[in-house]
Structures are given as structure tokens and as C-alpha cells.
Amino acid sequence: MHRTACSAFVPGERLDIAATGAGVLSGKTFGVKDLIDVEGRRTGGGNPVWRAAASGAAKHADAVRLLLAAGARCVGKTVTDELAFSLEGANAHYGTPVNPRNPDWLPGGSSSGSAVAVATGQCDFSLGTDTGGSVRAPAAFCGVYGFRPSHGAVSIEGVLPFAPSYDTVGWFARDARLLREIGETLLPAANAPAVHRVRLVEDALDHVEKAVADDMVHAGGAIATDDPVKLFNEFPLAELSATYQTVQGYEINRSLGARIAEIRPDFGASIKARFESVRRIGEGEYGEALKVRQAFARHLVRVCPADTALILPVSPVAWLTHEETEETLGEFYGRALGLNAVAGHSGAPLVQLGAASGGRGIACSLLGAPGADRALLDLTERLSGQFRSDHA
């Protein structure tokens, strides 16, 4: 695996774009993942050939525009895994942003630069994208707060499409209050009741290493209000993972296949293999996977109603090193994509908590019902005193 360490920001892309208004984010600085348009700048997608073939964006992405109007200042484009097709955080062209918790650990991807920029204090918050865990995984590995909104809650206008029925714009911060304030700027008005029930997904613990399971049980002991629940009894994790990979892969090829064939980017070896594999997914296979996805979404509504949040891990391991074998990475993806598909299949919001201070483990995430974004962020702020971030 490529071991070159790099900055959180795309080389040559440090910016200073002034706020266009004043508001709850006045005085704050933010970075923008290099899949999201910034006016006048090329959206490079983590690949130099893709960047060279792009034109300067005609306008800011909607999320960037709203943040500037709320008083924040943009300070740069952040590194991403190539076209977002990874959860690792390594980039064959720009290197790997350094995980401040441990330089031997991968930062997680694909929003690697955005997570590292926040974790190291290079900006107050940052934008990422999350399809299958690309905000959640780096937030967990780098020990910062990360938020994936309900699908469709935040505009993806001006964002490079990947798998559109899963794609979201999410964000990172070092504290829960700022995480909520960003939500005040980007999310629609609250339309869900307050969350007052918190339950541990106990059968998720069967799919994670013991250290992660211990962290989830510890979180449950601190914040759970009701008995644990089972989520995977009717829908095994392996089935959710395979369903996600089929739907995602079909949509990736539909969104990016023609452009890839046209400009022929020089992808890193693992990314190249992934793009080649999705070309083989047929429409019939895609249709059958959609049926499973829809059935699971109905199942989750029953398990997680609007007043409830579920404690769930977003990674089966507490960290990945730069030296992981292909076999180990394959096992990681199989389980991580299944865990993260819980939110993806249902379009639900999820907040990854900052890591417990001094720990080498991984903090829990809280999954809410679709549309309960603001209520979930409010709950996170209420609970934040019980979970102190490494970087707070």
C-alpha cells in the first residue's frame, strides 16, 4: 500500500474564500472535499487526470454557498480517495493524510483529508461526502464527530455523483455544538419529535472485533435508556453488504462509467479493479437488490421509530494500519459496508461520536429515523459531556 504521507489539503489548493454573510458560523473556517464544487476551482475527485479534464466550477455547490452565507470562511479543498471509491484514506497520487491519533493507522476514507484537517485543527469543520461510510469511517478512525444526514436532506447540487441513491453531503467537527450549528445551516426545519430513547443494536456486536464490541457495550451502559434490540435477525449482515455493493456498483457505473471511458484516468491499482468490477453488474441483479433494500428500509422503521436512536458501530475494527493484507481489507469491507448499509439502505441519519479521550478504541455512532436529523444532533449535544473527544 502507498505509504507517502501528505497534507489534508489537495496540493496547490489552499484557499481563502471570504464569508458572504454573517450568522451562526461567523468566524469559523472550513475545508471542502475535492468532490464538491468551489466556484472557479476544478473538482479533481482525487485524481490528477480527472482534475486536468475538468473545468473550473461555474458556481459553489449549494452546501458551500450556504456555509459562506452563514459566516464561515473556506480555506481549502481536501484530499479524497479517488472518486470516493474506498474506505481506507489512501491516495496513489497525493499520498495518505496522516491520522493524528497514530501515524501508523490509515485515516479512513474517502473523506480522509476532511477528517484529518479537522482532527489536526487546520480548520474548524469540513465537508465530506458519504455514500457507504465515507464520512463515518474517517470520523471513527480519526476520533472526531462526523454526521451523515438523511438522504436528500442536504442538497447535493454541485457534488460529483457516485451512487446517487446513497450519496449525501456530510460534515466533521471537533465538538457536538458546532456539529449541530452546521446542521442549523444546511438542514431543513425540524419535522421529527425529540429523541428520548437510545438502544444498543446487540447483534451488531457479533460482527466486530472484541475491542469494538466492548466500546459499544460501554457506550450502551452510559447512554442507553431501553433494552437492546436485534437488527440483523431477518436481514443478515452479509446480505445487507452484498445488496449495497450491487446497488452502489450499478449506480457508480451509470454515473461515472462513460466519463471514465472518455478520459481514462490513471487510477491506483485497487481503485482501478473496483471500477472494472462494477461494469459487470446487470440490470436484473440491480433490480433484485433493490427489493431487498426496500424491505430492509421497512424493517428499520419498525425497529427505529422517530423517537429512538440506535447505538451502532460503523467499523468492525478500531483501526487499520498501512500494512493490512488484501485478505484483511476484504474482510473489513465485507463487514463495514454491511454495518454502514443500515443507514444507506434506509436513507437514515447517523452521527459518529468523537473518540473517548486517551483511548485507542472507537466511539459509537447513533442512528436515527429518516428525517430525524436535527433531533439526532440535539441528542448528540445533550450527551456530549459524557463523551470527551481526543481533539476537543
Q: Which residues are part of the catalytic machinery?
A: 33, 110, 134
The residue type found at 289 is: A
Rounded Cα distance, 132 and 214, in Å: 24
DSSP 370: T
Structure-block grid coordinates of residue 10 = 489537495
Q: Long-range contacts of range 201-204, CB-CB < 8 Å, 24 or more positions apart?
A: 201/228, 201/229, 201/230, 201/231, 201/310, 201/311, 201/312, 202/228, 202/229, 202/230, 203/230, 203/231, 203/232, 203/233, 204/231, 204/232, 204/237, 204/312, 204/313, 204/339
Sequence letter at residue 227: D
Q: Check if the beta carbon of residue 316 is closer than 8 Å to that of residue 208.
A: yes
Provide φ and ψ at 31, rounded to 5°.
-105, 160
Return the beta strands (E) in the chain as ranges.
5-6, 9-17, 29-33, 73-78, 96-97, 125-130, 145-148, 168-173, 197-200, 308-312, 350-352, 365-367
**Three cell numbers written together for 41:** 476551482
For residue 279, the SS3 value is coil
Would you put residue 298 in left (φ > 0), alpha (ψ -120 to 50) or beta? alpha
- Secondary structure (3-state) at 253: helix
Amino acid at 114: S
Contact criterion met (CB below 8 Å) for 362 and 216:
no
State the burial class of residue 39 (Cβ atoms within 10 Å of its Cβ: 0-12, 13-18, 19+). Answer: middle
Q: Which grid coordinates are listed for 267?
A: 487510477
List phi, psi (to 5°) of 173.
Answer: -155, 165
